[in-house]
Amino acid sequence: MKSLLKPVYVTQPFLPPLEEFLPYLEAIWERKILTNNGHYHQELERALCDYLGVKYISLFANGTLALVTALQALRISGEVITTPFSFVATTHALWWNNIKPVFVDIEPVTFNLDPAKIQAAITPKTTAILPVHIYGNPCNVGRIGEIAATNGLRVIYDACHAFGVGINGESVLNFGDLSVLSFHATKVYTTFEGGAIVCHDEGMKKRIDKLKNFGFAGETTVIAPGINAKMNEFQAALGLLQLKYIEKTIEKRKALTERYRCELHGIPGIAFMGDMPGVKHSYTHFPIFIDEKMYGKSRDMVYEELKNFNIFPRRYFYPLISHFPPYNELESAAPEKMPVAESAAEKVLCLPLYDGLESDEQDAVIHIIKQYAMRLK
């Protein structure tokens, strides 16, 4: 098989037809309001509340600033229990707030924070739990909520993979105290960059809005040391247009996911995740987990082989956050305490998945994975 002519990356943003975006730009030029809660900003907040089925949403320049601000909004301090199996921004947000992350292991099926491990990690300094809906698969929100209520803890969900995800008809974003979204270019729904905090009452929405705008409560009144984290009008305009296409985008990703599952089923040493019962998925990633003993090649060998053909998957999430400084100095970061997470990080490989992935490109990915196991044995 020859190398593909153009590179195939793990993801690629969906962008609507440029001619459909031009009227939005013309309106921005006419109004000359580029930021500070402009027309499209307000319109997008209303539209997202309707689409996502949530009460209140506050838009941000990106998901990391949203997470940093969410921790500030709830006045979180001390220690926060979280997962090592995520993107580093999850834990960086804690560090920037002078909060100590406490890592616990993950579940072997969903790869989300394991509720069974949370209770033992709680100390008098613990103030919150920060789980992540990995790959858009919902955490055990019921059990995590029970643990938090029993111990007087807050719950902030990193829902950056979970746009449009629902559990038994209810948005996954309605669980916990706050949920944080990312609209980065790698996400199912993108506004170039961007993010949001979902909350459940008007008072919290007002506090978040002030914190993301330097802490201003009026022209001459500052209530807290806020930050500049506002979404601009260009991002918001694109977000409005993207909502017209989001269901079609998710359906295409679902079809690609189902084809991967069909074609890779039964290959020794290749495992992947199925849909969860009662869950509306958004198909943000397609991770496979490669068992070297059964497949005959390591995950990294497969990773390099695909790159030889101009295909660029990603090892989401490797290394674990707990391997990076300064987190690797923490007692909770010890590898022996997180065997499931350590194993997942060594086996995971996210294959290309996006709206514009062509059938021949997906065919190439599947063919290489099937054939590579049969060579060099």
223 and 251 share one domain: no
Domain stop point among 226, 243, 260: 243
In tens digits, what is the pLDDT along the chain, a chain of 377 residues? 788 889 999 999 999 999 999 999 999 999 999 999 999 999 999 999 999 999 999 999 999 999 999 999 999 999 999 999 999 999 999 999 999 999 999 999 999 999 999 999 999 999 999 999 999 999 999 999 999 999 999 999 999 999 999 999 999 999 999 999 999 999 999 999 999 999 999 999 999 999 999 999 999 999 999 999 999 999 999 999 999 999 999 999 999 999 999 999 999 999 999 999 999 999 999 999 999 999 999 999 999 999 999 999 999 999 999 999 999 999 999 999 999 999 999 999 999 999 999 999 999 999 999 998 776 54
Helix then strand then coil, in percent of the chain rounded to 5, is 40, 20, 40
In 3-state terms, what secondary structure has residue 317? coil
Residue 9 lies in a domain: no
Q: Residue 362: phi, psi to the nearest 5?
A: -65, -40
Bridge partners for 180 per DSSP = 158, 197
| Owning domain of residue 196 | 18-243
Whichever domain contains 224, its CATH number is 3.40.640.10
Helix (H), strand (E) at residue 124: none
Bridge partners for 280 per DSSP = 166
Predicted pLDDT at 3: 87
255 and 200 share one domain: no
Tell me which residue of 231, 225, 229, 228 sits closest to 75, measured CA to CA: 225
Alpha-carbon gap, residue 349 to 368, rounded angstroms: 14
Q: Could you tell me which residues come within 8 angstroms of residue 1 by beta carbon, excluding any fewer than 6 positions away?
A: 309, 364, 367, 368, 371
Locate 43 and state its tokens. Answer: 């319109």
Whichever domain contains 346, its CATH number is 3.90.1150.10
Q: Could you tell me which residues come within 8 angstroms of residue 152 by beta carbon, excluding any fewer than 6 positions away?
A: none
User: Which CA distances in Å does 334 have to 103, 132, 200, 324?
Assistant: 9, 20, 36, 12
51 and 111 share one domain: yes
Helical H runs in the chain?
18-31, 39-52, 63-73, 89-96, 115-121, 141-151, 202-211, 233-243, 246-264, 292-295, 299-308, 339-347, 359-372
Predicted pLDDT at 375: 64
Residues in the chain: 377
187 and 68 share one domain: yes
Residue 11 lies in a domain: no
Alpha-carbon gap, residue 225 to 211, rounded angstroms: 7
Predicted pLDDT at 93: 98
252 and 192 share one domain: no
What DSSP letter does each residue of 79-98 carry, written as one string?
A: EEEE-SSS-THHHHHHHHTT
The answer, as to whether pTM is greater than 0.75, is yes
For the stretch 30-39, contacts whose Cβ atoms lie closer than 8 Å and that sit 24 or more positions apart, written own/partner, are 33/233, 34/232, 34/233, 34/234, 35/230, 35/231, 35/232, 35/233, 36/213, 36/230, 37/209, 37/213, 37/230, 38/232, 38/233, 38/236, 39/233
Residue 259 lies in a domain: yes
205 and 64 share one domain: yes
Distance from the Cα of residue 9 to its chain's centroid: 18
CB distance 190 to 14 below 8 Å: yes
224 and 357 share one domain: no
CB distance 306 to 298 below 8 Å: no
CB distance 188 to 283 below 8 Å: yes
203 and 259 share one domain: no
123 and 269 share one domain: no
Residue 130 lies in a domain: yes
